Structure formats: C-alpha cells, structure tokens
Amino acid sequence: MTIEELKPIIESLIFVSEEPINEKQIAAILEGESAEAIEAAISELMAEYNERGGGLELRKIAGGYQIRTRPEHSEYVRRYLKSQPSARLSIAALETLAVIAYKQPITIPEILEIRGVTSTSAIKTLLDRRLIVARGHKQVVGRPMMYGTSKEFLIQFGLSDLSELPNLEDFEDLMSS
Amino acid sequence: MTIEELKPIIESLIFVSEEPINEKQIAAILEGESAEAIEAAISELMAEYNERGGGLELRKIAGGYQIRTRPEHSEYVRRYLKSQPSARLSIAALETLAVIAYKQPITIPEILEIRGVTSTSAIKTLLDRRLIVARGHKQVVGRPMMYGTSKEFLIQFGLSDLSELPNLEDFEDLMSS
Amino acid sequence: MFITLFSCAAMAETSTQQDSILATIAEARLELGETAEHYKVKLPTFEGPLDLLLYLIRKEEVSIYDIPIARITEQYLNYVRAMRELDIAVAGEFLVMAATLIHIKSQMLLPRDPDAPEEEAEDPRAELVYQLLEHQKFKGAANVLHQRAMIEAATFTRASLETDKNNPEIAATTFQLFEVFREVLNRRRAITEIEIARDEMTMAEKIAEIKLALEERSEVSAREMFERARSRREMVLLFLALLELVKELVIRLKQSEMFGDIFIAKRGEPSDQVSEVGGQLPEGTDQSGNEPLTADHRPAATEL
C-alpha cells in the first residue's frame, strides 16, 4: 500500500482503539506493511492534524497514539459533558509520585529517606488511582515491595514514555538563585 | 466568534458526544452564537472532512452529528477489534484468578475448597482469555487437572515473574500507616 | 540521651521568644493567603521537616549551601514548639529532624582536629544540604507534573463506542488481585470456623436434627440435608444417623424415580404406603454405606 492508502486506515484504527494504539498493534493488523511505511504514515497524519489546527490533535501518549481534543476548548467540552475535573492529588501524593517516577523501582523506606516523611497514605492514594503499580520485591532484608509508575500515569500526565519526564537537574538551582 | 473560531469548538463537541449532537445542543453550549453561524460552521466542517478523505467522516445521523470511521476501512477496523480479547473479568473470574495466581498449581476441587463455590465457568473464561493454562494432572484419585497462570497473565498485570505478586506483608506495610 | 537532653535545653532557651514565633506564623499565614477571620492562629502546614526547613531558609534569605545552623535550628524549634502550643500533633519526623539539627549544631561547635587532613574535615551540614537539594528537586518535578496533569485533564478522548466493550485491559491491579485473594481466604476462614463448630456435633444431635426436621415437614429431601453438611465428617454422621433411624423403624427413605432425590419421611403415616419404593436403601446409597466407618464414629453409633 502507498502511504496515502495507509493513512486513512491507520487513522481509523487510532480512532476506534479505546487505549492508545502503538505501531506494533497497527502493523499486526496491516499484515505485510513495513514498520517504516507505518511510521511514515503516522508522522504525516500527525503533521496534518497540527497544520489543520482543528479541535482535535493526534498525539503520542503512553507509547501509543490517540486522538484527543485540544486543551484550548476544554471549557466548552466540560460544559457540554458537565464533567468536573477529577479531584486533584494532594501535594504529598504529587511529591511521592514524582519521587517514584524518577527513582523507580523504589521501596517505601527509600521514599521516606528522600521525602523525610512517611508516604504510606500517599502510596495508597496513588495505587487506588492506578498511577503506580507494585513492581516486585527488593532482594534485601524484609523484602519490601518496590513501586513504579503505570501506563495510566503516562496517560494522565500526557507523557509518551518516561524519558519525557523533565530533567531533574533542572530543578537543582531553584534555591540558590 | 468567527466561523473559524467556532469550527474547532464544534468539532470537539461532536467528537466527545456519546450520542449524535444536534445544532440546538451545540447552540446551548455556545451561548450567544446564532443558529446560522453554527450551521455554517458545521457545513464547512463536513466539507473539510469530505475533501480530506481521511479515515474519519463527519455525518448527520439521527438528527445530530457524529464523527465515525469510513465504511471503506471497516475490514481493518473489524480485524483490529476482533484481535482484542473480550470483556472485563467478572468478580467470580477475578476471584478464581487470584486463587490460582497465589495457589498454583491448583485443581478445580481445590479452588472450590477455597472459594466455597464452583468455579467452572470462571475457569473457562480465564482459559479463553489465556490468563491461565492447564498444568498437567494431579496424581491423586480422579487425576484432576491442575491450573496455573500464563505468560499472558504476567503481561496483562505488568509482572516480570510471579515473585512480583504482592504478599500479605506488602499489604500490611501499606495499611499500618 | 545526649541529644534528648540537648533538645530540651534548646527548647527551654527559646521558650521566651513566643511572641516572635507567633509573628512568624502570622506572617506565614498571610503568605499562604489564609483568611484573617480565623479565631485561632493557624500554622502553615508543611509536608514534612524538609519542607519546613526549606521554608525557613527561604524566609531567612540564607544560602542553602551555607546554612546558619544555629539560627535555623532556633527557628525550627520555635515552630515545633508553637505546633505543640496550638495542640497540633507533631509528627515524629519533625522531632527526628529537631534532634538532627541540634546534633549538627553541636558538631559545628566542636573544635576541629587540627591534625586531620583537610578533605576529611567534612562539613557536618553536608548530608542535610544534600537531602534538602534532593527534596527541592522533587518538589520542582512535582510542580511540573501537576501542571502537565492540569493540561492533560483539559483534553478529552472520543466518546465511548459500542466496540469499547472489548477493552482488553483488565480493570484490576496486582494489589486488587491480592485483596480479592485475601477476601476469599477470610471468607474461607469464616466457613472453617463454622465447620469446626459443626464438627463438635455428635450423631445423637444429627438424629435429633432429622427428627426435628420431620416435625416441621412430613418429608425432607435427603439431598438438601447432605448439601447443608459442611464437612465430610458431618456427611458421614448424617448418613449414619439415617441408617440408624431406618433400622429403628423411625423413618423410611423414598425415591420416586431412578437416580432421583431421596426423601426422608416418618414411618407410620398413611401417605407413605402410596409412593413408597421400599423400606430399603436405593442401590447407590447402599454402596456408599459400605464405606469404611472409622473407629471414632462407631461408639457414637452404638451409643444410640
């Protein structure tokens, strides 16, 4: 198939998929199409969505692709859906999440070490909201459970993967200035 | 608002709407915009979708507007949806899966012993979804089949091996805060 | 012990400065935009001791790399003291940090060993500074994450389609899996407790139970009675009790069709004559009746 033929099919697949769909899943459906052709089609599609500047955008998120509304029009969309933004995470939960995101896999005692306060209730909240997952036991005394971030974390924070997290060293000099 | 400003907002509303959304509903969200302006924006949007000839179309359906995939690509869409295993797990299936995960290899009579209810249909669901696999016969009277979790189970729960399953201590660690 | 004593002394030393603490708190309150209408003075809340320290360092406009430890320790202790005055539960971590600060302060006062090589003379504050910097970085990251989440929450995916019912994602995490497992086990434990209670049951009680059931109803389904049994032992007891009652000509067992349910009925009632299959046990039951009776069941049987 030509890229022009691939594009509408890929767009359909991205649209119907409830979760972000990745190149591999797309390739499995479009048997015989090369990974390069699929990637090229996707990047053309993304460029088209950007140029058009309509209400929708095609974004890479949690390792896959998804069509979403642009944040600029959220006010109207919320009004229509009568949706409330979901409850904000507490500062404790956010900070705990940040430590987990950058230091994963990490145990509760290690988080305590960094944050200087116990984080168990924050961990509970984050588990309930499926932002973090258990990642197995650390092979040390007591075999504490290690935690890491989930796919849901990437989705809720609009990250394509963990490498997109802002560089931690950028926050180093906030104090000395 | 100009038509150019209206278009992306209307597109967003059509995109997020569960049911086809009509002009009246759109006008209610975009307070103060005239019916003519809204209609003009919609017909421009429809024309754009047609010209683009992408994977999606904006159609008038059941007295409202909806974005959907074009029928031309239904074969691929169907193939993709079919490749997705069906339905969420019922509580019975989840319980049975939990018992198998923690007590594997385990036979159906043993699961009955633990759950107190028969699990045959749950077992069938779990086998269909390839979350569990048969693990040979137990060398006892009746030689019942033993079951264990599969590789697919590890993938779906994001585990690298079974030792990563949380245990009672991990649970108590969390609850003891 | 040394640290504790030192800490008490430091607290006493600073207790005269209550006014300045309250001033600090009031100031902090204004900074946090709290309404002035609160009757009680409100303390700014800090996530933990590191947060409080960062706040004090910023407020005092001192360098994080060269913390005037005596001054900051004093401020810190004032704050902790004020928390107590206002009946705010002081988390253990705040007290641990207080001890750490006092310890560092005491180390700073110790004269340095002049013979020690330059590089070994580590600043007692070094570890704390490192901790504060790390904490600061994660606070910054948390802030950026928060902003990202706010933007992301403003974007929406398409409405759910008919086809979404085929969502492959299992709506459960490993922790939920564990919780479910624990619930099942708890349920099981409750059942076991009942079983243990029932295991105390003697055959005499089983016989009484059958008789009682027949007082209420003229016919009782044997299957139902067996299904209610929670253990093998109880089933055996029930079975023996039935045999005993048949032998004593108290009941008869009836079966209206092959492999059908067996009903227990009192003997001597006229209706019995009509549908009775026979005074003997059906074939299947007879076989299982040959199951070896263990020694501890026999005395119970002969008691009657």
CB contact under 8 A, A74 and C148: no
Q: Which residues of A touch C72 (CB under 8 A)?
A: none
* A80 residue type, one letter: Y
Per residue in A28-42, pLDDT (tens digit) is 999 889 999 999 999
Q: What pLDDT does A7 receive?
A: 96
How far is A6 from chain C, CA to nearest CA, in Å? Answer: 22
Chain-chain contact of C166 with B116 (C-beta, under 8 angstroms): no
- Biggest CA–CA distance in chain B, Å, is 80
pLDDT of residue A15: 94
C neighbour chains, 3+ CB pairs within 8 Å:
A, B
Share of chain B above pLDDT 70, in %: 95
Task: Using the structure block, give the residue that is written with the tokens 């933007």.
Answer: C151
d(CA B56, CA B52): 9
Backbone φ and ψ of A64, nearest 5°:
-135, -170
Report the neighbours of B using a cutoff of 3 or more CB pairs below 8 angstroms.
A, C
CA distance B115 to chain A (A): 25
Searching chain A, which residue's CA lies closest to the CA of residue B71? A12
Contact status of B5 with chain A (Cβ, < 8 Å): no
Q: How far is CA C99 from CA C53, C59, C62, C69, C74, in A?
A: 14, 22, 21, 13, 12
More confident residue, B78 or A41: A41
**Closest Cα in chain A to C93:** A117
Confidence of residue C164 (pLDDT cuts 50, 70, 90): low
Distance from CA of A134 to the nearest CA of B (A): 7
Count how many pairs of residues, chain A against chain C, have C-beta atoms within 8 Å.
135
Tell me which chain A residue has its CA closest to the CA of residue C58. Answer: A175
Please, where are the H alpha helices in chain C? Answer: 2-14, 18-31, 49-59, 69-85, 92-109, 126-152, 174-199, 203-216, 222-228, 232-247, 272-275, 283-289, 298-303
* Residues on chain A touching B71 (C-beta within 8 angstroms): none
> For A66-79, what is the mean pLDDT?
93
Distance from CA of A32 to the nearest CA of C (A): 24
Chain segment A138-158, per-residue pLDDT in tens: 888 888 889 999 888 998 898
pLDDT at C303: 31
Give the range among A18-27, A45-54, C267-276 with minimum mean pLDDT. Answer: C267-276
This model of the complex carries an ipTM of 0.68
Strands across the sheet containing A132-137: A106-107, A145-149, A132-137
Residue by residue, DSSP assigns C27-85 as: HHHHHTT--TT-SSPPPPP-SSHHHHHHHHHHHTT--TTS--HHHHHHHHHHHHHHHHH
pLDDT at C163 (0 to 100): 57
How many angstroms away from the CA of C273 is the closest CA of chain B? 39
Report the range of poorest mean pLDDT among A171-175, B107-111, C155-159.
A171-175
| Cα gap B83→A28, rounded to integer Å | 9
Q: Residues of B with CB below 8 A from C172's CB?
A: 89, 94, 157
pLDDT of residue C297: 34
Residue C156's Cβ-count burial label (10 Å; 0-12, 13-18, 19+) is: buried
Burial of A152: CB neighbours in 10 Å, binned 0-12, 13-18, 19+: middle
Pick from C163, C172, C185: CB nearest B94: C172
CB B141 within 8 A of CB B93: no
Cβ pairs bridging B and C (under 8 Å): 84
Alpha carbon distance B131, B101 (integer Å): 10
Instruction: State which residue of chain C sits closest to B111, comparing Cα positions.
Output: C184
Q: How confident is the model at residue C159 (pLDDT cuts 50, 70, 90)?
A: confident
User: Is the pLDDT score of A103 beyond 60?
Assistant: yes
Residue bearing the bigger pLDDT, C112 or C23: C112
Report strand pairing: A64-69 vs A106-107. Answer: unpaired
Q: What is the pLDDT of residues C178-237, one digit of tens each?
A: 777 777 777 777 766 665 555 566 778 888 888 888 888 888 888 878 777 767 777 778
C73 has a pLDDT exceeding 50: yes
C153 interfaces chain B, CB cutoff of 8 Å: no
Per-residue model confidence (pLDDT) at position B18: 85
Share of chain A above pLDDT 70, in %: 97
Contact A83/B at CB under 8 A: no
CB of C295 within 8 Å of any CB in chain A? no
Q: Chain B residue with minimal CA distance to A11?
A: B55
- Inform me whether the pLDDT recorded for B128 exceeds 90: no
Q: Supply the pLDDT for residue C259.
A: 67
With an 8 Å Cβ cutoff, are A115 and C132 in contact?
no
Q: Which residue among A54, A67, A76 sits closest to B30, beta carbon to beta carbon?
A: A76
- What is the pLDDT averaged over residues C263-285? 52
Rounded to whole angstroms, the Cα distance separating C23 from B144 reads 76
Residue A174: the pLDDT is 57
Q: What is the mean pLDDT of residues C123-147?
A: 89
In angstroms, rounded to a whole number, what is the distance separating the alpha carbons of residues C149 and C170?
24
Mean pLDDT in residue range C249-268 = 78
Confidence class of residue A60 from pLDDT cuts 50, 70 and 90? very high
C174 and chain B: CB distance < 8 Å anywhere? Answer: yes
pLDDT value of position C219: 84
Nearest CA in chain C to B88: C170
| Amino acid identity at B116 | G
Q: CB distance C139–A171 less than 8 Å?
A: yes
Contact A95 C139 (CB under 8 A): yes
Average pLDDT over chain C reads 69
Flag the least confident range among A114-118, A131-135, B78-82, C252-256: C252-256
Largest CA distance in chain C: 114
Judge whether B157 and C173 are in contact, CB under 8 Å: yes
